[in-house]
C-alpha cells in the first residue's frame, strides 16, 4: 500500500504533513540512499521547481537530505516538469526531481521523481523509498557528503531541445498566438520559444510572484485566454498549467480545443506523414467516445489506460504507440520526450496547422464529441469509497438506466481527497439527469 506517493508523486498543502520541511529532508535522505545503492560513481540528482513560494523551502530541505546522504545536486530553478525529464537525461544525472503541485493552487506543492532515463520512477522504487522512511539509513562519513551547484543555462538547453523536435528549418511566421503561462513554470520558456520561431506572441499571466500560480488562469481556467484571442484577433490560444506538462488550446473564435481533439489532430497528422507507430493512440477512461469513433473512421485504434499520465505511458510502451494523452491536456509524444510536455504539444499543434495550411477550427471540426460532464465530490479525508458495496450498486443502477448509449466512470482522485464522477451519453439531458442523481446518491452515502 502506498502511504506517501500518489499517481504523481507526493503532494499536499504546504506545512501540513507530508509537505513539510522535516518530511522533505527525510525524503531526501531516503531517496538518496535508495537511488545510490547500486551506483559505482559519484551520484548526482537534478532538482527543478515551478514558481510557488514554497519551492524555496522544499528545495532547500530536499537538497539538504540528498547531500547529507552523499548525492550531489544540480539545481536548475524554475522550469517545466518535462524540462526536468529532458535535463536529467542530457546532464547524465542518476535521477531528477520536480517540485510542483501541477494545476493545484499556490498553497499546495509536490515532489515528483524521475529515473535516469527521464521516465517517472518505477512503482517498486517509490515503495522502497517509502519503506526506507520508516528507518533512515546511517549517514556517510563527514567527507562523503554531496555538494550542490546551479545550472545557469537550463531553460536555454530545454528551448534548443524543443526546437530539435520540429522539422528542420520550420518557421511559424504569420501565426498570432496568445499564450497563458499560468504564472507558472513556462512563464519564460513558452513565450520565448514561440517568438524565436517567428510567432507574434501575446503573453498572459507570465509574471509569477510565488502566490499567483494557477490563480484564475492557465489550463484549468482558460476563460481569459479565450477572450483575449477574440479581442486581439489571434489565430490560436495556448494555456499551460503550473508546471507546463499540459496544454489546453482554443481556436480563433475562442472555442476550446481540449486534449481529445488535440490527440485526434496530432495522431492524424502523424499518420498521414507515416510517423504514427502502433496503428493506435493511448488515452484514458475519461476520453470521449467521439474520439474513439473518429479514430476508427480514419483507420486507427484507441487503447484506454487508467487515469493518470504514468498509466498512459506504461500502455504506450507496452503497445508500441508513440502518441497518447489525456482529455485534460497531458500529451505524451514519445518520439520526443518521456513525459507529458505542454510546450512540446503546442509546438507540434502549430506545426500541423502550418504544414496543412489550416486553421485550428477546421482541423478540430471533424470530430463530434458526445455530451460529457465531470462531477467532483469532496471528502474530508481520503478513503476508498469504491470498496463500498452500496456505492457499487448505485453505479450499476445508473449504468443500467444509461443502457448502451454512453459510459460512466467513477474513480478516486490520485492527488486529492475527491471522488470524480464522469458520465457521457449521446443525449445530453439523459447524461445530466443520470450524472446528477448518481453524484448526489454517492455524496449522501459517503459524506
Percentage of the chain lying above the pLDDT 90 cut: 88
pLDDT band at 402 (very low <50, low <70, confident <90, very high): confident
CA distance 104 to 88: 24
Percentage of the chain lying above the pLDDT 70 cut: 100
Identify whether the C-beta of residue 145 lies closer than 8 Å to the C-beta of residue 39.
Answer: no
pLDDT band at 380 (very low <50, low <70, confident <90, very high): confident
* Residue 107 confidence (pLDDT): 98
* Residue 281 confidence (pLDDT): 98
Taking the domain 10-153, which CATH number applies? 3.40.120.10
* Residue 372 confidence (pLDDT): 92
Identify whether the C-beta of residue 154 lies closer than 8 Å to the C-beta of residue 85.
Answer: no
Angle among Cα 96, 98, 102 to the nearest 5 degrees reads: 150
CA distance 237 to 381: 37
pLDDT band at 414 (very low <50, low <70, confident <90, very high): confident
Exposed/middle/buried for 285, CB within 10 Å: 0-12, 13-18, 19+? middle
Q: Do domains 258-368 and 372-446 have the same CATH topology?
A: no
Indicate whether 227 pLDDT > 80: yes
Per-residue pLDDT tens digits for 243-280: 999 999 999 999 999 999 999 999 999 999 999 999 99
* Residue 42 confidence (pLDDT): 87
CA distance 171 to 227: 26
**Does the domain at residues 372-446 carry the CATH identifier 3.30.310.50?**
yes
Indicate whether 299 pLDDT > 90: yes
Indicate whether 428 pLDDT > 90: yes
Per-residue pLDDT tens digits for 20-39: 999 999 999 999 999 998 88
* Residue 257 confidence (pLDDT): 96
Residue 207 has a CB neighbour count (10 Å cut-off) of 11
Give the three-state DSSP class for 27. helix
Indicate whether 1 pLDDT > 80: no
Indicate whether 382 pLDDT > 80: no
User: If you average pLDDT over every residue of the chain, what do you get?
Assistant: 95
C-alpha cell at 189: 520558456
Architecture of domain 176-257: 3-Layer(aba) Sandwich (3.40)
* Residue 445 confidence (pLDDT): 87
Active site residues: 102
* Residue 246 confidence (pLDDT): 96
pLDDT band at 303 (very low <50, low <70, confident <90, very high): very high
Q: Where are the domains of the chain?
A: 10-153, 176-257, 258-368, 372-446
Alpha-carbon torsion, ordered 408, 216, 214, 199, to 10 deg = 100
* Residue 308 confidence (pLDDT): 86
The cell 522550469 sits on which residue?
A: 79
* Residue 447 confidence (pLDDT): 79
Identify whether the C-beta of residue 283 lies closer than 8 Å to the C-beta of residue 327.
Answer: yes
* Residue 333 confidence (pLDDT): 97
CA distance 407 to 427: 12
C-alpha cell at 2: 502506498
CA distance 71 to 285: 39
Average pLDDT over residues 203-221: 98
| Fold observed for domain 258-368 | Alpha-D-Glucose-1,6-Bisphosphate; Chain A, domain 3 (3.40.120)
pLDDT band at 7 (very low <50, low <70, confident <90, very high): confident
Average pLDDT over residues 416-422: 90
Per-residue pLDDT tens digits for 51-108: 999 999 999 999 999 999 999 999 999 999 999 999 999 999 999 999 999 999 999 9
Amino acid at each position: 500500500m502506498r502511504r506517501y506517493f500518489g499517481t504523481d508523486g507526493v503532494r499536499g498543502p504546504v506545512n501540513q504533513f507530508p509537505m513539510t520541511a522535516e518530511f522533505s529532508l527525510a525524503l531526501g535522505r531516503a531517496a538518496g540512499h535508495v537511488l545510490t545503492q547500486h551506483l559505482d560513481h559519484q551520484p548526482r540528482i537534478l532538482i527543478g521547481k515551478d514558481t510557488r513560494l514554497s519551492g524555496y523551502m522544499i528545495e532547500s530541505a530536499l537538497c539538504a537530505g540528498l547531500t547529507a546522504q552523499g548525492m550531489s545536486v544540480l539545481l536548475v530553478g524554475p522550469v517545466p516538469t518535462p524540462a526536468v525529464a529532458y535535463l536529467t537525461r542530457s546532464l547524465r544525472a542518476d535521477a531528477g526531481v520536480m517540485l510542483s503541485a501541477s494545476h493545484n493552487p499556490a498553497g499546495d506543492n509536490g515532489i515528483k521523481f524521475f529515473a535516469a532515463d527521464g521516465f517517472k520512477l518505477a512503482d517498486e522504487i517509490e515503495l522502497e523509498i517509502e519503506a526506507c522512511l520508516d528507518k533512515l539509513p546511517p549517514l556517510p562519513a563527514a567527507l562523503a557528503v554531496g555538494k550542490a551547484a546551479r545550472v545557469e543555462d537550463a531553460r536555454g538547453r530545454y528551448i534548443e531541445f524543443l526546437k530539435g523536435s520540429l522539422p528542420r528549418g520550420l518557421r511559424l511566421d504569420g501565426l498570432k498566438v496568445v499564450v497563458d503561462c499560468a504564472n507558472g513554470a513556462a512563464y519564460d520558456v513558452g513565450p520565448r520559444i514561440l517568438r524565436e520561431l517567428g510567432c507574434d506572441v501575446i503573453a498572459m499571466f507570465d509574471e509569477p510572484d510565488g502566490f499567483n500560480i494557477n490563480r484564475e488562469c492557465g489550463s484549468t481556467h482558460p476563460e481569459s485566454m479565450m477572450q483575449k484571442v477574440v479581442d486581439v484577433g489571434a489565430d490560436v490560444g495556448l494555456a499551460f498549467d503550473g508546471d507546463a506538462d499540459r496544454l489546453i488550446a482554443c481556436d480563433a473564435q475562442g472555442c476550446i480545443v481540449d486534449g481529445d481533439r488535440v490527440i485526434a489532430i496530432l495522431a492524424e497528422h502523424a499518420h498521414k506523414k507515416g510517423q504514427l507507430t502502433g496503428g493506435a493512440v493511448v488515452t484514458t477512461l475519461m476520453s470521449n467516445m467521439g474520439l474513439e469513433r473518429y479514430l476508427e473512421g480514419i483507420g486507427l485504434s484507441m487503447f484506454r489506460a487508467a487515469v493518470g499520465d504514468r498509466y498512459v505511458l506504461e500502455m504506450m510502451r507496452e503497445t508500441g504507440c508513440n502518441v497518447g494523452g489525456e482529455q485534460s491536456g497531458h500529451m505524451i509524444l514519445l518520439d520526443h520526450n518521456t513525459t507529458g510536455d505542454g510546450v512540446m504539444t503546442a509546438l507540434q499543434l502549430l506545426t500541423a496547422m502550418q504544414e496543412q495550411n489550416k486553421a485550428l477550427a477546421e482541423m478540430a471540426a471533424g470530430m463530434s464529441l458526445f455530451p460529457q460532464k465531470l462531477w467532483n465530490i469532496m471528502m474530508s479525508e481520503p478513503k476508498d469509497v469504491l470498496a463500498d458495496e452500496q456505492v457499487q450498486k448505485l453505479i450499476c443502477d445508473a449504468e443500467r438506466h444509461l443502457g448502451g448509449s454512453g459510459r460512466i466512470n467513477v474513480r478516486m482522485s490520485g492527488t486529492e481527497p475527491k471522488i470524480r464522477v464522469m458520465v457521457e451519453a449521446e443525449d445530453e439531458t439523459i447524461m445530466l439527469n443520470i450524472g446528477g442523481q448518481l453524484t448526489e446518491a454517492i455524496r449522501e452515502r459517503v459524506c
